[in-house]
Amino acid sequence: MSTTTTSVTAKAAIAERLTRHRSALLTLSAELHADPEVAFTEHRSAARVAALLRDEGFSTTVGCYGLPTAIEAVYGTGSFRVVLCAEYDALPGIGHACGHNIIAASAVGAALSLAAVAAELDLTVVLLGTPAEEEGGGKVLMLDAGAFAAADIALMAHPTPGVDLDCSGTSSQGCDRFRVKFRGKASHAAAAPADGVNALNAATVAQVAIGLLRQQLPDGVRINALVPAGGSAINVIPDYAEVLLEVRALDADVQHETKKRVLLACEGAALATGCSWSWEQDSPAYLPVRQHNELLGLWNRNLTATGRTLVRPPGGGGGSTDMGNVSHALPAIHPVIAVLGATAAPHTAGFAAETQGPGADAAVLDAALALAWTAADAAADPELRASLQEARRAQRA
């Protein structure tokens, strides 16, 4: 049988299986949306995702790779291992304002649909439920623990408002969050100010130095700062202050170099004010996404085949995701799927409202179909299949 015929046959079976699961997938999306859970606490969400996969014959584990709310669900024993990543954590206070209910339901839909052709295409289909994307780096922790060690490709799709975008040539911003701590000496601010060493002054000088550093940074680099601790009484010189910092960049090397310069600014602030200082990682660093060009081309064609129209984005990418770290370890894509008709920006209460309803339901089903078809196309093309497996070996070398 020719590659083209195999792919067409497989795609028809995938579409039929997705139609069969339509109601269950939309119910899953709605239930996740109505019951949001934040990073590392997604117990009910993980249970819902796992139950649907287990009922359809996937060997399913909740609580794996060191994370109680991580999922691994496996179907088939083929030589080409496809991983679909499902996110289901919400944002504090505003729920699914990033549409992770759509991500989870579409990934589950793609996995269930691919199971229909696992034997035909010699596939192992894996659904990884990856907690704490918004904060905590669940995929980074799972990657380090070996969750992706046997994977040949990793796929997921992220919702976006308004229009479908051609993500060719785009990336995401890497994001590195770390906490700097300054320690001084407390004293009465009026009676004995000369006896004090002001830790808040060190935090202030650090922010000024970082502000001046911004003038000499490459375009697209972002540095954000927050002071979560800087004293508790106006008449006491603070002996402790801390600054929570993040560095974002579209290039991993630029991100790393910028972080070094920020830490030097903090060291200088400590020296200038007589404080001691230290720093610690606040959460795993997110790397920029490396979109795999051939896989992304397949996604674009398959998403278009669902009836959607893709447009080029005005910029080179934004936001940050721990899927970036996965894409540095093996061939991966992280395209977007539009919630058609949505107008609010992500991470707002407005978009949270728009990630449930007809536009969100269409995004779940179209993303699931395009993801499954993309995996089927890759598996059915002997040359591409072999090159993806070779790329995976090279990236891990």
Q: Do 179 and 158 belong to one domain?
A: no
Supply the pLDDT for residue 6. 66
Rg (CA), the chain: 23
User: End of a domain among 281, 308, 331?
Assistant: 281
User: End of a domain among 281, 301, 318?
Assistant: 281
d(Cα 355, Cα 98) in Å, to the nearest integer? 8
Q: Do 219 and 304 belong to one domain?
A: no
The model carries a pTM of 0.93
Supply the pLDDT for residue 315. 67
CATH number of 145's domain: 3.40.630.10
Q: Do 277 and 304 belong to one domain?
A: no
d(Cα 322, Cα 85) in Å, to the nearest integer? 11
Place of tokens 């990884």: 128
- Which residues in 93-110 are b (16+ Cβ under 10 Å) and which e? ebbbbbbbbbbbbbbbbb
Supply the pLDDT for residue 2. 42
The answer to whether 305 and 374 are in contact (CB under 8 A) is no
User: What percent of the chain clears pLDDT 70, i.e. is strictly above it?
Assistant: 97
d(Cα 201, Cα 73) in Å, to the nearest integer? 52
Strand partners, 202: none
d(Cα 157, Cα 333) in Å, to the nearest integer? 8
d(Cα 198, Cα 280) in Å, to the nearest integer? 21
Structure tokens belonging to residue 220? 């697209």
Q: Do 31 and 115 belong to one domain?
A: yes
**Which residue type is seen at 387?**
S
Q: Do 14 and 154 belong to one domain?
A: yes
Q: pLDDT tens across 210-227, in order?
A: 999 999 999 999 999 999
How many domains does the chain fold into?
2
Specify the DSSP class assigned to residue 75. E
- Please list the ranges in the chain whose pLDDT falls under 70: 1-6, 315-318, 397
Residue 313, domain extent? 3-171+287-396
Q: pLDDT tens across 145-202, in order?
A: 999 999 999 999 999 999 999 999 888 999 999 999 999 999 999 999 999 999 999 9
Strand partners, 60: 73
d(Cα 382, Cα 377) in Å, to the nearest integer? 10
CATH number of 187's domain: 3.30.70.360
User: End of a domain among 229, 246, 281?
Assistant: 281
Supply the pLDDT for residue 347. 96
List of residues 6+ apart from 208 with CB closer than 8 A: none
